[in-house]
Structures are given as C-alpha cells and as structure tokens.
Structure 1
C-alpha cells in the first residue's frame, strides 16, 4: 500500500516554478539567461513573488497558480480514496468467503 501511494505521489507531483538566478530584497533580479524564453529582454529587471508580485515571466496569476496546485492534489486524493475503499471491500469479501467456507465444513 505504501509503495502504491509513493508511486502515485511521484507521478502527480507538481513541478516547482524555478528560475536561474537569485533575487534581491525586493524579490526581483535581472535576466541574463534564456531571457527570450520568458519574453524578457537581456538584462531586464523583473520580479519573482516579492513586492512586484508573481513573476511576469511565468505568465500566470496567483489564482491560476493556486488552481494548478489544487487539481493534482484533488486527483491524488481521489485515487487514494478509491484504493482504500477497494481494500476495505476486498477485506469484507474475504471475511464473507471464510465464514461461508467454515459453514460448509
């Protein structure tokens, strides 16, 4: 059971939104690597969740970011619930079969 839950958690883990560079006390920094991939000019100053809010390079709002975390977590919860319910049903069926076999003997 633990192995199954670990596999599910690894399969549906939400990737971190990272960047290559440190931020200053305002939560921002200048872009010097792969700037065009993030729609930034070389050396352009931008923020990563500090005073300036969520990074302009990520292209998503705080609400969209929270929703993107919610759905995978909900999906994993539902899968785990299904597995637990199936294990309970299997246990009840096993106990029923054992009782029936004892009666037949």
Structure 2
C-alpha cells in the first residue's frame, strides 16, 4: 500500500511540471484555424534567450516571422498573438499578445506580454 501511494505521489508531482518549450521557429508559426498551439509555451524562452533590445526589425522578423496587423496598437508597436480563448462565446474572453515596441529607427526598444481577460 505504501508503494502504491508513493507511485501515485510521484506521478502526480511529475504531471505538475513546467510546461514550457524551447523556442523553435517552425512550431512558433504552426497555426491550426488561426490558433497557435505552441506560442504561449515558447514565450519565456523567446523573451529570455532570443529577443534582445537593439535588434533590427529584419533580425527579429527573421527570428519570429512577420507581425500580425492589430489596428489598436500604439505607433511603433507590433504584436504577435500568443493565445486567444473564446470559451463558449463568439468574442474572445481571454487573449495574450507579445508586444514589441520599436524606436524611430526600427530597433527593438522593449517587449512585453499584454494579457487581457474578460
């Protein structure tokens, strides 16, 4: 009985592990019906190890692809959808977007995640 309980505890703890993935451009751009399955899981690695302030526009678009067109972003800010959840609604109930702010010379000035929840 003790062994069974120990096995159960180990299985439970291993299931609670970190669900982060290393950044890979092929998975980053993989989309099914407009939803990106891997982006949210790769964001930490992308922001910590790949995106750098001072990168040129060309360098980061070579790294993560062309940005999406968001009409409501500030000037010199571009975005990449990380996650969009509709629940049972026709409109999104939660979104996460990677925002990249650029200087007037198109260099990366800052990047952050914008998280919105209804």
Decide: shared fold, TM above 0.5: no
Q: Larger Cα Rg: Structure 1 or Structure 2?
A: 1
Superposition TM-score, scaled by structure 2 size: 0.24
Q: Which has the higher helix share?
A: 1
Superposition TM-score, scaled by structure 1 size: 0.26
